[in-house]
Amino acid sequence: MTQTWIDLRSDTVTQPTEAMRQAMLLAPTGDDVYDEDPTVNRLQAELAAMFGMEAGLFCPSGTMTNQIAIKLHTQPQDEVICHWEAHIHKYEAGGIAFNSQVSVKLLPGEFGKITAQQVAEHINPDNIHYPATTLVGVENTANRGGGSCYSLAEIEAIAAVCREKNLKYHLDGARIFNALIANHEQARNYGQVFDTISVCLSKGLGCPIGSVLLGNAADIHKAKRIRKVLGGAMRQAGMLAAAGLFALENHIDRLAEDHRRAQALAQALQTLPWVKTVFPCPTNIVIFHLHDAEQTQALLAYLKQQGILASAIDKAAVRLVTHLDFDDAQLQTTLYTLQQFSHQPVSIG
Ligand SMILES: *Cc1c(COP(=O)(O)O)cnc(C)c1O
């Protein structure tokens, strides 16, 4: 018998539900390299319409949609402004340099967020010594910020700077629906603000594979050639896109449940003596720090022994992510298990 883990390492670990599998099985398909997959075309059009954008491009991963956007908006030798812990910089294997030959201006900022003022202050002057600043990237929600959200007002303030200074503006919206649900905001408002938006289907939405890049028709046309050179043009991808369409129908509103369970974990952690701090938890990512970095691995090993998987994201920081396959019974087990972990002081002498 295989063990069923309570897997809180990421929201990417979900299994497609029976109903999602049925939708995938029955999807009409065609060769998407010829633009002939009706299901892919429908997914791209529906998502673009939701965000008030002209077009979409279905890709295998969020790394690819982000990397395509960066390539689209920059020339070699340019510079991209983003948070120092942004996924596009930290977790995409150096793709900014490898694919686009551009450098980064990394900004600090609480909970993974940057401000319009910071952006304005870090645009390079027109001087031959400096790379040309051409793109700003923000992440909503911000993974390393504990699933923190920008408000639409904060997003728009940065957009105003970008417009004034003629910079492109990309949203890494791997978890954009978590932000929209938490803020009670409409996707439609985002389309007018950004040049491109990357949306992941394989995170909170619970699909097995896929991300969509949204933008205007001309940009998405160019993006298609970049996807091709990266090896991301797929054939009968409708079976995967069908999962995305199913998720747009069925898995958006339920994100509120993931947020409620994450909040319950965050609140319980706050009361435990071995926990030093818990990040504010507006969405589905719980990040907490231990008093004693030495105990981080002990905690992970203890949890694993109890059937719970979590990940360390720093020497003394642990991340728990709630998702479609984490229910209230598992929440109760996790709360109980966390409460039973007793911090063993390191013996001195
Ligand atoms: C997961 C994630 C991505 C994309 O990751 P893939 O695994 O390549 O799909 C991009 N940005 C953020 C913030 C993410 O969490």
Amino acid at 211: S
Residues of the chain scoring pLDDT < 50: 346-349
What are the tens digits of pLDDT across the range 209-241?
A: 999 999 999 999 999 999 999 999 999 999 999
Give the N- to C-terminal CA distance of the chain in Å, as an integer: 46
Mutate to test the pocket of ligand 1, among 143, 200, 321 (most ligand atoms within 8 A of CB): 200
Q: CA of 54: how far to CAs of 97, 116, 163, 242, 256, in Å?
A: 29, 26, 19, 20, 28
Token readout for 84 is 């120092």
From the list 95, 40, 90, 38, the residue with the least C-alpha distance to 230 is 95
pLDDT at 342: 82
Neighbouring-strand partners of residue 104: 80
pLDDT at 347: 45
Tell me if 200 CB under 6 Å of ligand 1.
yes
* Alpha-carbon gap, residue 81 to 292, rounded angstroms: 34
pLDDT at 26: 97
Q: Determine if the peptide bond prior to 134 is cis (ω within 30°).
A: no
Neighbouring-strand partners of residue 135: 80, 168
* Predicted model pTM: 0.96
The ligand 1 atom nearest the CA atom of 139: 13
Contact present, 306 and 6 (Cβ < 8 Å): no
* Alpha-carbon gap, residue 141 to 177, rounded angstroms: 9
At the topology level of CATH, where does 16-250 sit? Aspartate Aminotransferase; domain 2 (3.40.640)
* Domain assignments of the chain as residue spans, ordered by start: 16-250, 254-341
Neighbouring-strand partners of residue 171: 138, 197
pLDDT at 349: 43
The closest residue, in CA terms, to atom 5 on ligand 1 is: 62
How far is Cα of residue 54 from the mean position of the Cα atoms in its chain? 22
At the topology level of CATH, where does 254-341 sit? Aspartate Aminotransferase, domain 1 (3.90.1150)
Tell me if 143 CB under 6 Å of ligand 1.
yes
What are the tens digits of pLDDT across the range 261-305?
A: 999 999 999 999 999 999 999 999 999 999 999 999 999 999 999
Mutate to test the pocket of ligand 1, among 70, 91, 319 (most ligand atoms within 8 A of CB): 91
